[in-house]
Amino acid sequence: MWRHDKLHEVGRHGRLSLFFKKRQERTILYDSFSTIPMQAFQPFYPDETGCACTYLVNPTGGLVGGDRIEIDITLDEYAHVLITTPSANKIYRSTGQFSSQSVEITIKRGGVLEYMPGYVIPFAGSLYRQKTRVCMDKGATAFILDAFTTGRVARGESLQFEEYRNTTEIEYDGELILTERMTLRPGKIDYNGMGLLEGFSATAVLYLIFDNLSLEKPLISALRTTMVETGDVVGGVSTLPAKGVVVRLLGVNARIIEKALFRLWSVARRHILAFENSLSLRRFITNTHYIP
Domain span holding position 260: 6-285
Confidence (pTM): 0.91
Whether 292 maps to a domain, the answer reads no
Can you give the pLDDT of all 292 residues of the chain as single tens digits? Answer: 444 444 456 678 999 999 999 999 999 999 999 998 899 999 999 888 999 999 999 988 799 999 999 999 999 999 999 999 988 999 999 988 999 999 999 999 999 999 999 999 999 999 999 999 999 999 999 999 999 999 998 888 899 999 999 999 999 999 999 999 999 999 998 888 777 888 899 999 999 999 998 999 999 999 999 999 887 889 999 998 878 999 999 999 888 898 899 999 999 999 999 987 766 666 666 544 433 3
d(CA 35, CA 108): 25
Whether 66 maps to a domain, the answer reads yes
Own/partner pairs for 270-277, CB < 8 Å, 24+ apart? 270/222, 271/215, 271/218, 271/219, 271/222, 272/141, 272/208, 272/210, 272/212, 272/215, 272/219, 273/112, 273/141, 275/49, 277/47
Whether 290 maps to a domain, the answer reads no
Can you tell me whether residue 48 is helix, strand or coil? Answer: coil
Can you tell me whether residue 157 is helix, strand or coil? Answer: coil
Residues 6+ apart with CB under 8 A from 257: 147, 202, 203, 204, 233, 249, 251
Whether 291 maps to a domain, the answer reads no
d(CA 130, CA 144): 14
Whether 102 maps to a domain, the answer reads yes
Whether 173 maps to a domain, the answer reads yes
Whether 1 maps to a domain, the answer reads no
Total structural domains in the chain? 1
Identify whether the C-beta of residue 20 lies closer than 8 Å to the C-beta of residue 76.
Answer: yes
Rounded (10°) angle between helices 216-230 and 254-268? 150
